[in-house]
Amino acid sequence: MLLRYFYDSNLAHASYLVGCQRAKTAIVIDPGRDIDQYLEAAKREGLKLVGAAETHIHADYVSGARELADRVDAKLYVSDEGPPEWKYQFLKAYQHQLLHDGDHFLIGNIRFDVMHTPGHTPESISFLLTDQGGGADKPMGIFTGDFVFVGSIGRPDLLEEAAGIAGTAESGARELFRSVSKFRALPDYLQVWPAHGAGSACGKGLGAIPSSTVGYEKLFNPALQYSDEADFVEYILADQPEAPKYFAVMKRVNKVGPVVLGAGHQHKMLEISGLAGAILKGNVVDISPSPRFAEGHVSGTVNIPIGMLAAWAGWLLDYSKPVWLICEADALEEAARILHKIGVEQIAGGFDVNAIRAAGLATEVYSTSTPADLALAIESGATTLIDVRSTDEWKQGHIRQAEHYFLGRLPEQLNRLNRDQPLIVHCQSGARSAIAVSLLQAAGFTRLVNMTGGFLAWTATGLPVELSVSMITCAN
């Protein structure tokens, strides 16, 4: 047997290539949309990729299962558990097998046993892997998807928080409690291979280690320490990270079937004469580093540096409108690839950032300043201080004069801000606040300053902060 681990750090997404070397066949578990990586790996190992299996209908990235089925005729192994509204709707055109609790399937001599593990989503399943070709008659590990992570467990509130299906958070938490009981009954020696690592919004407190064991998680995973259902429900629903708005889009896309991109999908660099029209028609995103954007950019454009696209484009872009990218020519395909992973399909092309600057079109700027230089204005109330960090960060401590506007929700709250008063924007380090300043500027705000270094620099300077009640209690 061969097992290969793939990790997309932009999405904190893990997927796996499992191959039977005797039969020279392989399958991918929870594939991402960038399927070339799996095809290349299988080719290197002399394997034919014959299948793709999914643990559930994903909400945080576009699945690559349909792309694999379309490109290489991979058979799809997907859940048929859960209510009618959460069934895959694109399967008829492809080889597929609908899976239920207790089912199994074979890839060569490798056996996959299906365990229904609802809670994160109603249709969620896990796959127990047994290497029969090596003579084993017991499983060696379990692909848990978004059910059990290293040090955490899948959140049950996404359908309510992101997809807007009211009343599903608590019922999902109770289902999750029963699924945890199934997990506890598994042998301690089993390896645990989850679909996400640290940084994913599919749970809270995920570990950065790629794998674990059932026994270790039983001992140290906080979510697995509860024997009382009510206590578990209270724990699992508390303090979950904000659910990105695009998660609802992903659920729909992965259910009805993503657009097939096909091999060699490319995007074009366009003449900058079309830039003004693009700004009027849709989303124009400058992926330059924020300091460069601050020094000069095109009015009406939004700055999301390429390294932050996966985390924030899904929050901030209007999916119903086309997207144009301002970038270096050699960065266009990488940026487009990232956006396609989170379901941004209408990528109309790119505009060369260097040509824009050479033509004198990057005329808009914004100010940056340090906490030390801004402290007097903030403390005097002469300006409005905007904190765009997460709710959890805000609760742990914040500047007393600050108003909290989480970056992901900022576009919906612009009418609450005073356009006539100077605005200072900050986050933890200055990176997210730079995105926020670009959003505000594109929306017509003119008196803006980005606090360099953010909250960390403020506290490092020794300036006062306000702690939450829980933090004060801990300190005492």
Rounded to whole angstroms, how far apart are CA atoms 202 and 48?
32
Enumerate the β-bridge partners of residue 367. Answer: 449
Start-to-end CA distance of the chain, whole Å, equals 54
Closest CA to 453 of 383, 366, 365, 371: 371
20, 202, 327, 427: the catalytic one is: 427
- Residues ≥6 apart with Cβ < 8 Å to 435: 290, 302, 303, 304, 305, 308, 312, 316, 407
Tell me the C-alpha to C-alpha distance, in Å, between residue 413 and each of 386, 418, 426, 472.
Answer: 12, 11, 16, 30
Backbone φ, ψ for residue 26 (5° rounding): -150, 160
CB 76 within 8 A of CB 97: yes
CB 11 within 8 A of CB 61: yes
SS3 215: helix
Tokens for 433?
């606040």
Closest CA to 196 of 258, 150, 249, 252: 150
Residue 83 burial class via C-beta count within 10 angstroms: exposed 0-12, middle 13-18, buried 19 and up: exposed
Task: Return the half-sphere exposure (C-beta side, CA atoms, 13 A cut-off) of residue 220.
Answer: 10
Is 427 tagged catalytic?
Answer: yes
Rounded to whole angstroms, how far apart are CA atoms 192 and 216?
10
Q: Which residues are part of the catalytic machinery?
A: 427
